[in-house]
Amino acid sequence: QVQLQESGPGLVKPSETLSLTCTVSGASMSSYYWSWLRQPPGKGPEWIAYINNNGGTNYNPSLKSRGTISMDTSNNQFSLKLTSVTAADTAVYHCASGAGWWEHWGQGILVTVSS
């Protein structure tokens, strides 16, 4: 079955860049769209971005152009970079398959923005 696993630092300093990677197993990267979502502590999910199987991307405008999603099909991975982070970016970050509805999710990684 499709499995996703997030990896990256759990602590990022304010104004720096958050970088996360999602490793996909059980599916070809060409089979799905791939998304990043996040969930601040105690709040609901927020969609961040998706990348499709042709490399096309779409972002939540609330990010104000701080985000970049990319894909490495040779390693079955896709990634998220979020620049100029603030405390408001503290959240559990999930990678997931799909765009519009997300069927397979990673367990999530807590990223705290703090000095």
Q: What count of other Cβ atoms lies within 10 Å of the Cβ of residue 25?
A: 10
- CA 48 from centre of chain: 7
For binding to other proteins (CB under 8 A), which residues are involved?
43-47, 58-62, 94, 99-103, 105-108
Residue 62, phi then psi, degrees to nearest 5: -65, -20
CB nearer to other proteins: pick between 65 and 74 = 65
Q: How large is the greatest C-alpha to C-alpha distance in the chain, in angstroms?
A: 40
Give Cβ neighbours of residue 96 (< 8 Å, ≥ 6 apart).
4, 34, 35, 36, 37, 102, 103, 104, 105, 106
Least distance in angstroms from the C-beta of 1 to other proteins: 10
Q: Least distance (Å) from other proteins to the CB of residue 4?
A: 9
- What is the smallest separation between the CB atom of 68 and other proteins, expressed in angstroms? 16
Residue 16 or 99: which CB sits closer to other proteins?
99
Closer residue to other proteins, CB minimum distance, 16 or 60: 60
Considering beta carbons, is residue 16 or 63 the nearer one to other proteins?
A: 63
Are the CB atoms for 33 and 93 separated by under 8 Å? no
State the minimum distance, in angstroms, from the CB of residue 2 to other proteins. 12
